[in-house]
Chain A
Amino acid sequence: MGYQAKFKVWRGDAEGGDFVDYRVDVEEGEVVLDIMHRLQATQAGDMAVRWNCKAGKCGSCSAEVNGRPRLMCMTRMSTFGEDEEISVAPIRTFPVIRDLVTDVDFNYAKAREVPAFAPPEGVAPGEYRMAQADVERSQEFRKCIECFLCQNVCHVVRDHEENKEPFSGPRFLMRYAELDMHPLDVRNRKEDAQEDGGLGYCNITKCCTEVCPEHIKITDNALIPMKERVVDRKYDPLVWLGKKIFKRQELEQRGATGAQSLENPGPDNGSALDADRIGPVGTS
Chain B
Amino acid sequence: MTDPGTTTAFEAAGEGATDVAAVTHHTYDVLVIGAGGAGLRAAIEARLRGKRVAIICKSLFGKAHTVMAEGGIAASMGNANPRDNWEVHFRDTMRGGKFLNNWRMAELHAKEAPQRVWELETYGALFDRTPDGKISQRNFGGHNFPRLAHVGDRTGLELIRTLQQKIVSLQQEDFARTGDYESDLAVFHEYTITELLKDGDRIAGAFGYRRPTGELVCFHSAAVVLATGGVGKSFKVTSNSWEYTGDGHALAMRAGAKLLNMEFVQFHPTGMVWPPSVKGILVTESVRGDGGVLKNSEGERFMFNYIPEVFREQYATSEDEGDRWYTDADNNRRPPELLPRDEVARAINNEVKEGRGSPAGGVYLDVSSRMPAAEITRRLPSMYHQFKELADVDITAGPMEVGPTCHYVMGGVEVDPDTAASAVPGLFAAGEVAGGMHGSNRLGGNSLSDLLVFGCRAGAGAAAYLDGLAEVPTVSDASVTSAREDVERPIHNSGGENAYTVHQELQQTMNDLVGIIRKADEMELALKKLHELRDRIPRVAVDGRRAYNPGWHLALDLRNMLMVSECIAMAALERQESRGGHTRDDYPTMDENWRQELLVCSLQDGPDGPTVQLEHQGQPAMREDLFDLFELDELKKYYTGDELGGHRSDAPPRQTRGTEGAGDEAERSSSTTETGGDPGGELTGGGA
Contact = CB atoms under 8 A, between A and B. Distances in A.
Q: How large is the interface on B (under 10, 10 to 19, 20 to 34, 35 or more residues)?
A: 35 or more
Interface string B438-462: 0000000000000000001100100
B547 A97 contact: yes
B112 interface: yes
A3 to B, nearest CB: 14
Give the one of A30, A41, A109, A269 with max B CB within 10 A.
A41
A41 B1 contact: no
A212 interface: no
B311 interface: no
B118 A98 contact: no
Contact of A281 (B173, B499, B626): B626
Contact of A101 (B212, B460, B464, B501): B212
A130 B386 CA distance: 31
Contacts of A53: 67-68, 241
B335 to A, nearest CB: 28
Nearest to B115: A274
A57 B132 CA distance: 31
Contacts of A269: 48-50
A103 B210 CA distance: 13
Contacts of B136: 132
Interface stretch (A16-24, A80-88, A111-119, A235-243): A111-119
Nearest to A49: B550
B130 to A, nearest CB: 8
A274 B168 contact: no
B378 interface: no
Contacts of B161: 142, 144
Interface stretch (A162-170, A194-202, A260-268): A260-268
Interface stretch (B54-62, B323-331, B402-410, B568-576): B54-62
Give the one of A99, A270, A271 with max B CB within 10 A.
A271
Contact of B172 (A59, A108, A112): A112
A139 B126 CA distance: 7
Contact of B111 (A40, A116, A274): A274
B49 A182 contact: no
Interface in A239-284: 259-262, 265-267, 269-275, 278, 280-282, 284
Interface in B145-197: 151-152, 154, 157-158, 161, 165-166, 168-175, 177, 181, 187
A231 to B, nearest CB: 26
A179 B157 CA distance: 17
A34 to B, nearest CB: 4
B111 A278 contact: yes
Interface in A1-35: 13, 27-31, 34
B625 to A, nearest CB: 4
B181 A112 contact: yes
A130 B132 CA distance: 8
A255 B174 CA distance: 16
Nearest to B542: A45
B133 interface: yes
A274 B275 contact: no
26 contacts: A42-B500, A45-B543, A45-B550, A46-B551, A48-B547, A60-B60, A97-B547, A98-B547, A108-B1, A119-B122, A126-B114, A129-B132, A131-B133, A132-B129, A132-B131, A135-B126, A135-B128, A138-B126, A142-B126, A142-B158, A261-B169, A261-B170, A267-B50, A270-B45, A271-B460, A281-B656
